[in-house]
Amino acid sequence: MARLFGTDGIRGLANGDLTPELALTVSAAAARVLVAHDSSHRPVAVVGRDPRASGEMLQAAVCAGLTSAGADVMQVGVLPTPAIAHLVAELNADLGVMISASHNPMPDNGIKLFAAGGHKLPDAIEDEIEALVGRPGTRPTGTGVGRIYEISDALDRYIAHLLKATPHRLDGLRVVVDCANGAAWAAAPQAYREAGAEVIAIHALPDGENINDGCGSTHLDAVRAAVLAERADLGIAHDGDADRCLAVDAAGELIDGDQIMAVLALAMREAGDLADDTLVATVMSNLGLHLAMREHGVELRTTAVGDRYVLEELRGGGFSLGGEQSGHVVLPGHATTGDGLLTGLRLMARMTDTGRTLADLAGVMRRLPQVLVNVKVADKAAVAASVSVSEAVAAVESELGETGRVLLRPSGTEQLIRVMVEAPTHDTAEAAANRLAGVVSSAG
Residue 184 CA to residue 164 CA, distance in Å, equals 18
Could you tell me if residue 355 is left (phi over 0), alpha (psi between -120 and 50 degrees) or otherwise beta? left
- How many CB atoms within 10 Å of residue 274? 20
Of 100, 102, 217, 386, which is the active-site residue? 102
Radius of gyration in angstroms for the set of CA atoms belonging to the chain, rounded to a whole number:
23
Residue 417 CA to residue 182 CA, distance in Å, equals 33
Instruction: Return the ∠ at Cα 122 (arms to 116 and 123), rounded to 5°.
Output: 150
Residue 366 CA to residue 168 CA, distance in Å, equals 27
Residue 206 CA to residue 335 CA, distance in Å, equals 26
Residue 145 CA to residue 98 CA, distance in Å, equals 22
Q: What is the DSSP letter of 255?
A: E
Residue 243 CA to residue 342 CA, distance in Å, equals 9
Q: SS3 for 169? A: coil
Q: SS3 for 10? A: strand
Q: SS3 for 106? A: coil
Look up 390 and say whether it is catalytic. no
CB-based contact 424:368 (threshold 8 Å): yes
Amino acid occupying residue 128: E
Q: State the catalytic residues.
A: 102
